[in-house]
């Protein structure tokens, strides 16, 4: 197993999908799968799958397929799902609260440790046993707790200011839900979530699928 | 211009990103860009960019680059951002309300026309001038309004039931926010949103970037 090898970011971005599909297979008690079968399920070419999974070596055998459980575990390791990242949410509006209530974080290697907002109506409210604190207390909080990742779910025009603050406090990861494609001149890893990207793809696929019918 | 040509879904999934980057360039009054410059900005190889954008033909000129505005408009057309899809939200919890308040739908070719939930505490509440109605009224609503797309933001264990209902009412597109990778045996286009995919990628990138420092 060659999990220490550097894997390209394009491959890494496909790993969560492999991970989800392999998890489904495990639930169906499927222990081996060929790249061809996986291809049919996932809608990725078999050749792409072989190329991607070759990055990890040792799982595929010609004519025999992949060992589902080993591959699942290895991809989980590579994605670092056994991490113990500590995470805070900044901005406890609807999106922030939806994320705070999201139950999958632990399975992904993250633990929610704090929630911050500026709205007096929200301060003191508890979500999953975590009390929403005022944003002014963030600096103090970070002095006493290790914080690896901050989720930004603040209004568009506050995003940059909050991101700068977070970076200046030494927080190393940002999961950004603002529609702003955030780039900041700090040593910080940022994942920007673009919800409307998949909405645009949905529109394209609807047009492709139904345009013939429309034109009838 | 060859916008009628069938474009592969892998390319289509990259289009929203091109669209966002080109939009940034337009705001900076940049009128032409080479695949090399675009590559540096986007972190995609120049060769991949040329291959992707060749699907649409007529924009790149050797040594001269792409016309930003034409490419931006063409990608917008291909993505169908001038659609007038009518959309409803089913499930007005935190995620549903966050989405209802999301202001970018119109720019992406969608118009929100209805919101449904089962919680008596939510029925009658207005979001963006749309009154939340009881889920029981969905069928009646669809009889009197064209609905092209439903956003599903319901609890995990209700997802399949609601998806079946929506499909049986003839709604052709589903934007699914449940953690369930929804596949249903109907003639429906589904985009599943997997928020935790980007969270896993963030974890990977954090480990890659900081593991050397950790090991010191």
Residue pair B84/B90 in contact (Cβ under 8 Å)? The answer is: no
| Range with lowest mean pLDDT among A187-201, B72-86, B182-196 | B182-196
The verdict on B107 and B150 lying in the same domain is yes
Average pLDDT over residues B67-96: 91
Q: Determine whether the interchain pair A80/B204 forms a contact, defined as Cβ–Cβ distance below 8 Å.
A: yes
Question: Would you state the pLDDT for residue B153?
Answer: 94
Q: Could you read off the pLDDT of B34-77 as tens digits, one per residue? A: 888 888 887 778 888 888 888 766 556 666 788 899 889 989 98
Say if A12 is an interface residue toward chain B (CB within 8 Å). Answer: yes
Residue pair A56/A2 in contact (Cβ under 8 Å)? The answer is: yes
The Cα of B194 is separated from the nearest Cα of chain A by a number of Å equal to 9
Say if B83 is an interface residue toward chain A (CB within 8 Å). Answer: yes
Question: Would you state the pLDDT for residue A209?
Answer: 84
Question: Would you state the pLDDT for residue B36?
Answer: 87
Question: Would you state the pLDDT for residue B111?
Answer: 93
How far is B11 from A13, CA to CA, in rounded Å?
Answer: 15
The verdict on A107 and A131 lying in the same domain is yes
B102 compared with A171, residue with greater pLDDT: A171
> Taking CA B28 as the corner, what is the angle to CA A9 and CA B23, rounded to the nearest 5 degrees?
55
Residue reference for tokens 């927080």: A171
Question: Would you state the pLDDT for residue A164?
Answer: 94
Residue B152 within a domain: yes
The structural domain count of chain B equals 2
For residue B98, give its domain range: 85-196
Q: Other CB atoms closer than 10 Å to residue B43's CB: what's the count?
A: 9
Q: Could you read off the pLDDT of A180-209 as tens digits, one per residue? A: 778 777 789 999 898 888 899 999 999 888
Q: Which of A55, A78, A101 is the last residue of a domain?
A: A78
**B-contacting residues in A 153-192 (Cβ below 8 Å):** 172-173, 175, 179, 181, 189, 191
Q: Determine whether the interchain pair B175/A198 forms a contact, defined as Cβ–Cβ distance below 8 Å.
A: yes
Q: Could you read off the pLDDT of A70-82 as tens digits, one per residue? A: 889 989 988 888 8
The verdict on B92 and B179 lying in the same domain is yes
Q: Which CATH number belongs to the domain containing residue A58 in this structure?
A: 1.10.10.10
Residues of B in contact with A195 (CB under 8 A): 99, 102, 193
Q: Determine whether the interchain pair A101/B110 forms a contact, defined as Cβ–Cβ distance below 8 Å.
A: no
Q: Which CATH number belongs to the domain containing residue A163 in this structure?
A: 3.40.50.720
Residues of A in contact with B80 (CB under 8 A): 200, 203-204, 206-207
The phi, psi pair for A113, rounded to 5°, reads: -120, -10
The verdict on A73 and A90 lying in the same domain is no
Q: Could you read off the pLDDT of B17-39 as tens digits, one per residue? A: 899 889 889 989 999 998 888 88
| Range with lowest mean pLDDT among A25-39, B14-28, B87-101, B201-215 | B201-215
pLDDT at position A133 over 70: yes
From the list A58, A1, A71, the residue with the least C-alpha distance to A31 is A71
As given in the structure block, the two tokens for residue B66 are 């792409």
Q: Other CB atoms closer than 10 Å to residue B143's CB: what's the count?
A: 8
Question: Would you state the pLDDT for residue A127?
Answer: 93
How far is A196 from A204, CA to CA, in rounded Å?
Answer: 12
The phi, psi pair for B124, rounded to 5°, reads: 95, -20
Residue pair B123/B134 in contact (Cβ under 8 Å)? The answer is: yes
The verdict on A56 and A105 lying in the same domain is no
The verdict on B119 and B179 lying in the same domain is yes
The verdict on B66 and B108 lying in the same domain is no
Which residue of chain B comes nearest to A85, CA vs CA? B203
């Amino acid at each position: 197993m060659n999990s220490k090898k550097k894997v390209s970011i394009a491959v890494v971005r496909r790993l969560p999908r492999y991970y989800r599909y392999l998890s489904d297979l495990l639930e169906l008690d499927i222990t081996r799968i060929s790249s061809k079968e996986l291809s049919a399920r996932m809608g990725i070419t078999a050749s792409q799958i072989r190329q991607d999974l070759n990055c990890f070596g040792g799982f595929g055998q010609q004519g025999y397929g992949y060992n589902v459980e080993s591959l699942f575990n290895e991809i989980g390791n590579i994605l670092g799902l056994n991490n113990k990242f500590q995470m805070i949410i900044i901005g406890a509006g609807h999106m922030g609260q939806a994320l705070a209530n999201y139950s999958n974080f632990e399975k992904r290697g993250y633990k929610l440790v704090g929630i911050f907002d500026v709205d007096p109506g929200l301060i003191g409210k508890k979500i999953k046993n975590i009390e929403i604190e005022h944003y002014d207390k963030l600096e103090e909080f970070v002095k006493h707790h290790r914080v690896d990742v901050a989720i930004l779910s603040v209004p568009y025009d506050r995003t940059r200011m909050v991101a700068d603050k977070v970076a200046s406090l030494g927080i190393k990861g940002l999961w950004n839900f603002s529609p702003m494609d955030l780039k900041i001149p700090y040593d910080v890893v940022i994942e920007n979530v673009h919800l409307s990207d998949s909405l645009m793809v949905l529109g394209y696929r609807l047009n492709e699928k139904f345009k013939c019918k429309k034109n009838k």
